[in-house]
Amino acid sequence: MNLSNIGNLFIPIVVFTIVIIAIIKKVNVYDEFVEGAKEGLGMGISIFPYLIGMIFGINILLKSEILNHLFIFLKPIFDFIKIPVEVLPMAIIRPISGNASFAVMIDIIKNYGVDSYLGRIVSVMQGATDTTIYVISLYFGSIGIKNIRYALKAGLFADFITLIMSIVLVSIFFHG
Using CB atoms within 10 Å of the CB of residue 132, give its burial: 0 to 12 exposed, 13 to 18 middle, 19+ buried. Answer: buried
Between 94 and 140, the more confident residue is 94
pTM of this prediction?
0.65
The mean pLDDT value for 66-91 works out to 85
pLDDT one-digit tens code per residue, 82-121 = 888 888 888 888 888 888 888 889 999 999 999 999 999 9
Digit-coded pLDDT (tens) for 33-47: 899 888 888 877 877
- For residue 176, pLDDT over 60 is answered with no
| 136-158 average pLDDT score | 83
Name the amino acid, one letter, at 33: F
At 165 the pLDDT is 92
- Mean pLDDT on 71-84: 86
| Mean predicted lDDT score pLDDT of the chain | 85
Q: How far apart (Å, rounded) are the C-alpha atoms in residues 110 and 108?
A: 5
